[in-house]
């Protein structure tokens, strides 16, 4: 018998009423762990959304606290962690492909450790599959016990046995975890964890647990620290950011947080992802009032059909979405918009799909992430009858994507010959004189220039527009990244 602690989706679906508590001393790094990774290298493969990106930074921080160093490829690492996403079947298949490939490496280097974490680790079925088919995986842990990584790793190193520990109920909001951020000028900041929306197609409320907001004081302290480190752009993260604070009893918590964040002094503040249902007028007003709150709104609609929105449990109607959209566009006319759309939800009809297309024509989004519905075991939609053939769904996706491309091209064309401010992310790997970065509206710009560094704010003249990027030439560096001056 093993003593694995396995996930349970039914338990994960339950929501407790207890007031949340914050754990400030849950993470420990005893002296004996600090040297376990010395002389060893780690590699983290990250799938999925920004929640996972941020978690990977936290794991990197913990591993470096154990003496590990980052490897430049997984072939030369001593520890591989696969941070997984369960949102669609194809995300899961990628992970299975990778685990299969690691088998090869582990044959050559048996002392190499392989760990799996993230949202797939919260699913019963995936964990059972991995245990059965990928015996080379040494460590499995979930999204609620990230802070346990050093202890779990130490255990598998000491015993040579597989360690599996997953909590199906979220615990505390764990503060004061170390982290190694991937960028020196842009930072992700979690403001809340989990999701209570339970859209019928979505696995996230099961894999990430209930909505838990961080205390505003903790978020602001993190922001001030990032400001002191010269970060220029921050992105406030949550599955449902404008529900921020509701669990703490603050009615307009997100608008208040945006207001407070804007006063910290960053050049750019973004947020991901708002839900149309909780997007209140206070939030629109704050966004419109501050120049450092970026005019880019990702507002997932999922479908333009009332019938499907209801079956998805999205808690807004087509009309409510359009009303919100129009109010934001009116108040912030320079804003760009993107959305998420699922086609082929169970029994979506041609008429439902036509409603999605007409909504798209109204909003004329700058871009969109479009998906074919993927049934997720354990969710209500996976139990719904679905008679729509796969070919029809694929055809709908293609029709929708043509529309997405058309408006993306149109909206970008308006930038031709304009001067925009780009926050430079670095130069192209192939051509050192070509740089890339984003405008406030989140437009990707590839531009020519000289003596430009990651983190510089650069005025760029747009010379060419495409559907998914703009090309341009640097006019001047508006503000160099402070790091280049001081070091």
Closer to ligand F3S at the Cβ: 9 or 119? 119
CB of 395: closest distance to ligand SAH in angstroms? 17
Separation of alpha carbons 247 and 194, rounded Å: 11
Residue with tokens 């003249």: 461
Can you point out the beta strands (E) in 281-352?
A: 296-298, 336-343
Closer to ligand F3S at the Cβ: 97 or 160? 97
**Cis previous bond, 273, omega within 30:** yes
Can you point out the beta strands (E) in 282-355?
A: 296-298, 336-343
Between 50-65 and 149-159, two packed helices, what is the crossing angle to 10 degrees?
Answer: 60
User: How many of the other CB atoms lie within 10 Å of CB of 6?
Assistant: 16
Name every residue whose Cβ is closer than 8 Å to that of residue 375 and which is 6 or more positions away in sequence: 89, 201, 381, 382, 386
Can you give the binding site for ligand SAH, defined by CB under 6 A? 87-88, 201-202, 204, 239-240, 273, 275, 300, 302, 340, 342, 371, 373-374, 376
Separation of alpha carbons 346 and 373, rounded Å: 8
* From ligand F3S, ligand SAH, ligand SF4, none, interface partner of 342 (C-beta below 5 to 8 A by class): ligand SAH
Question: Which candidate, 455, 484, 27, 487, places its Cα nearest to that of 226?
Answer: 455
* From ligand SAH, ligand F3S, ligand SF4, none, interface partner of 205 (C-beta below 5 to 8 A by class): ligand SF4
CB of 1: closest distance to ligand F3S in angstroms? 31
52 binds ligand F3S (CB under 6 A): yes
Please state whether beta strands 139-141 and 163-165 pair in parallel, antiparallel, or not at all (unpaired).
parallel
Closer to ligand F3S at the Cβ: 48 or 449? 48
Span near ligand F3S by CB under 6 A; candidates 11-19, 35-43, 45-53, 213-221: 45-53
CB 465 within 8 A of CB 412: yes
119 binds ligand F3S (CB under 6 A): yes
User: How many of the other CB atoms lie within 10 Å of CB of 427?
Assistant: 16
Residue facing ligand F3S at closest CB distance: 48
CB 376 within 8 A of CB 382: yes
Separation of alpha carbons 482 and 475, rounded Å: 19
48 binds ligand F3S (CB under 6 A): yes
Q: Annotate each residue in 336-375 with x if it binds ligand F3S (CB under 6 A) or - if it does not, as one string.
A: ----------------------------------------
The residues in 160-219 that bind ligand SF4, with binding defined as CB under 6 A, are 195, 197-199, 202, 204-205
Closer to ligand SAH at the Cβ: 336 or 465? 336
Rg (CA), the chain: 23
Closer to ligand SF4 at the Cβ: 202 or 335? 202
Residue with tokens 């009309």: 319
Separation of alpha carbons 442 and 444, rounded Å: 6
Name every residue whose Cβ is closer than 8 Å to that of residue 478 and which is 6 or more positions away in sequence: 421, 457, 458, 459
Closer to ligand F3S at the Cβ: 9 or 422? 9
CB of 273: closest distance to ligand SF4 in angstroms? 7
Q: Annotate each residue in 257-296 with x if it binds ligand SF4 (CB under 6 A) or - if it does not, as one string.
A: ------------------x---------------------
CB of 211: closest distance to ligand F3S in angstroms? 13
CB of 285: closest distance to ligand SF4 in angstroms? 23
Q: Annotate each residue in 190-229 with x if it binds ligand F3S (CB under 6 A) or - if it does not, as one string.
A: -------------xx--xx---------------------
CB of 408: closest distance to ligand SAH in angstroms? 17
User: How many of the other CB atoms lie within 10 Å of CB of 417?
Assistant: 9
286 binds ligand F3S (CB under 6 A): no
Report residue 73: phi and psi, to 5°: -150, 160
Closer to ligand SAH at the Cβ: 79 or 397? 397
Between 89-108 and 124-133, two packed helices, what is the crossing angle to 10 degrees?
Answer: 30
The residues in 226-255 that bind ligand SF4, with binding defined as CB under 6 A, are 239-240
Residue 97 tokens read as 């492909």
Closer to ligand SAH at the Cβ: 182 or 374? 374
Residue ranges in contact with ligand SF4 by CB under 6 A: 195, 197-199, 202, 204-205, 239-240, 275
Residue ranges in contact with ligand F3S by CB under 6 A: 48-49, 51-52, 85-87, 118-119, 203-204, 207-208
């Amino acid at each position: 018998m093993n003593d694995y602690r396995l996930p349970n989706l039914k338990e994960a679906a339950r929501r407790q009423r207890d007031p949340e508590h914050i754990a400030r001393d849950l993470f420990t790094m005893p002296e004996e762990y600090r040297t376990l990774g010395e002389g060893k290298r780690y590699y983290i493969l990250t799938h999925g959304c920004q929640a996972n990106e941020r978690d990977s930074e936290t794991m990197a921080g913990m591993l470096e606290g154990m003496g590990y160093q980052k490897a430049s490829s997984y072939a030369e690492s001593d520890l591989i962690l696969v941070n997984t996403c369960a949102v669609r079947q194809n995300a899961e298949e990628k992970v299975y492909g990778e685990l299969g490939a690691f088998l090869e490496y582990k044959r050559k280097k048996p002392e190499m450790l392989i760990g799996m974490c993230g949202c797939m680790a919260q699913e019963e079925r995936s964990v059972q599959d991995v245990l059965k088919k990928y015996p080379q995986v040494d460590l499995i842990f979930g999204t609620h016990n990230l802070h346990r990584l050093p202890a779990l790793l130490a255990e598998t190193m000491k015993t040579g046995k597989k360690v599996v520990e997953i909590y199906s109920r979220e615990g505390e909001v764990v503060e004061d975890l170390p982290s190694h951020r991937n960028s020196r000028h842009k930072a992700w900041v979690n403001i809340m964890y989990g999701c209570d929306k339970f859209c019928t197609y979505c696995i996230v409320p099961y894999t990430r647990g209930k909505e838990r907001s961080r205390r505003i004081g903790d978020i602001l302290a993190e922001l001030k620290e990032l400001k002191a480190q010269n970060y220029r752009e921050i992105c406030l993260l949550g599955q449902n950011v404008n529900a921020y604070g509701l669990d703490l009893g603050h009615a307009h918590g997100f608008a208040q947080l945006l207001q407070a964040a804007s006063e910290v002094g960053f050049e750019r503040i973004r947020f991901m992802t708002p839900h149309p249902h909780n997007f209140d007028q206070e939030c629109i007003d704050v966004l419109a009032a501050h120049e450092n709150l970026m005019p880019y709104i990702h507002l997932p609609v999922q479908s333009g059909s009332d019938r499907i929105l209801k079956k998805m449990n999205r808690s807004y109607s087509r009309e409510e979405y359009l009303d919100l959209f129009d109010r934001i566009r009116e108040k912030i006319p320079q804003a760009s918009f993107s959305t998420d759309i699922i086609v082929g939800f169970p029994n979506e009809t041609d008429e439902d799909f036509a409603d999605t297309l007409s909504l798209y024509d109204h909003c004329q989004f700058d871009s969109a992430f479009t998906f074919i519905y993927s049934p997720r075991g354990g969710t209500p939609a996976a139990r719904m009858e679905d008679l729509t053939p796969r070919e029809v769904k694929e055809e709908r996706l293609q029709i929708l994507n043509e529309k997405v491309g058309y408006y993306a091209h149109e909206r970008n064309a308006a930038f031709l010959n304009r001067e925009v401010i780009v926050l430079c992310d670095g130069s192209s790997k192939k051509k050192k004189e070509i740089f890339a970065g984003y405008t406030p509206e989140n437009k990707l710009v590839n531009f020519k220039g000289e003596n430009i560094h990651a983190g510089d704010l650069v005025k760029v003249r747009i010379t060419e527009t495409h559907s998914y990027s703009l090309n341009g030439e640097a006019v001047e560096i508006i503000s160099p990244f402070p790091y280049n001056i001081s070091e």
